Structure 1
Amino acid sequence: MNPLDLQFPDHFESHRLLIRCPRPGDGRAVHEAVCETLTELRAWPASLPWAVFEPSVEASENYCQQGHEAFAARRDLPLLLFHKDSGALVGASGLHRMDWAQRRFEVGYWCRRSMQGQGYITEAVQAIAAFAENTLAAQRVECFTDVRNVASRRVAESAGFVLESIQTRLSPQGGEIQACVYVRVR
């Protein structure tokens, strides 16, 4: 199955959010959200290894350009989350580590500090999982989170994912972490 043959939109909406692939020019908004939230992001280096590096507008813009290209090529489906009313960047998510033949996807997410605790990420993950299931015919959507990341676990559970297992995984730094595997299966 060639994912390039699939036609699907690069954006969709939830109740409060515009969810779309990154575009050239989004780098400054991404950089501002990352800088605002860097302490929280760096608490989870196994899940967010990119956050250990010092952010720059240039690196954020490169991420947006590369993310746009990856989305078009169906190699990765990064998504930015914008508040529909204010236009503010709420955070980022996406469908990653895709197995198109098996229709298996992994969802990841983070939320900028000033938007946390308002249900935006749960809303986004619900919408993204529904997009994967209804538009991409996903048979399995997975979410991996550090067992200690209670907020992330709560998002997965609130978005309809079920805890399948807890696994020992290697972190990018070489240590071991306990990771929860949450799934939505058709």
Structure 2
Amino acid sequence: MSAVPPILIDFPDRFESDRLFIRLPLPGDGAEVNAAMQESLAELRPWLLWANRDQNVSDTEQIIRQSHAKFIERTDLRFHGYDKRSGELAICCGLHRIDWHVRVFEIGYWVRTKFAGNGFATEAAGSLERLAIEHLGANRIEIRCDRGNVRSANVALRLGYVLEGTLRGNQLSSDSSRLTDTSVYAKVRGIEF
């Protein structure tokens, strides 16, 4: 593997898919991201721990600025996807749990409720997959989701990811009341790409 420190790896920090303009998070995005989160809490709460915590605009702005710093450090690569037609934030997505030595990336995403059911998660995840393969030299890409999250699992399946297994009782539920299972879908260089 390359000995180049991750912080020196250059790759696009903004790109387009058919219907999305996708870019890194920027200071000042907090209000828009918070509005999208507030609109979408009912759909996000069953699956995401952070959706069950109160978060005001200032809290979200702080997270956005931390995400921007992590992007520059190359420790976590969050992106915001904007609908080309309306210009509105439609999806937050990214490459997470990065192992630069082995070149493993996890694709994560959540869709703003008003844009749900239109294929934006599949489109964004496919774009992130191409970025990871073409610019970051990915050897393995994962999509993980709660075993009960059928919509998220369907994104992985539509993109040709293979269900490798289920991690039983590996995390707390989004409301911290019980243990839940995580389905792990993956593509591996030389096999699926």
TM-score range, shorter chain: over 0.9
Structure 1 counterpart SS, 2:145: strand
Distance 1:50 1:21 in 2: 20
Moved more, 157-166 or 33-42: 157-166
Distance 1:127 1:8 in 2: 13
Distance 1:82 1:162 in 2: 28
**What is the aligned partner in structure 2 of residue 88 from structure 1?**
88
Consecutive unaligned residues in structure 1, runs of 5 or more: none
The size of the alignment, in residue pairs, is: 183
Distance 2:76 2:24 in 1: 10
Match of 1:41 among 27, 40, 44: 44
**What is the aligned partner in structure 1 of residue 160 from structure 2?**
160
Task: Return the TM-score normalized by structure 2.
Answer: 0.91
Consecutive unaligned residues in structure 2, runs of 5 or more: none
Q: Which amino acid aligns with 2:101?
A: A
Structure 2 counterparts to residues 54-133 of structure 1, below 5 A: 54-133=54-133
8 A Cα contact 1:126 1:160, kept in partner: no
Structure 2 counterpart SS, 1:59: helix
Q: Which amino acid aligns with 1:14?
A: S
Identical amino acids, percent of aligned pairs? 42
Runs of 4+ aligned residues of structure 1 deviating over 4 Å after TM superposition are none
Structure 2 counterpart SS, 1:43: coil
> Is 1:27 matched with 2:38?
no
Q: Which amino acid aligns with 1:176?
A: L
Q: Which amino acid aligns with 2:51?
A: A
Q: C-alpha displacement at 1:24, in angstroms?
A: 0.6
**What is the aligned partner in structure 2 of residue 184 from structure 1?**
187
Q: Which amino acid aligns with 2:12?
A: P
Distance 2:107 2:144 in 1: 8
Q: C-alpha displacement at 1:124, in angstroms?
A: 0.4
> Is 1:52 matched with 2:52?
yes
Task: Return the TM-score normalized by structure 1.
Answer: 0.94
Moved more, 169-178 or 113-122: 169-178
Q: Which amino acid aligns with 2:172?
A: S
Structure 2 counterparts to residues 170-181 of structure 1, below 5 A: 170-171=171-172, 173=176, 175-181=178-184
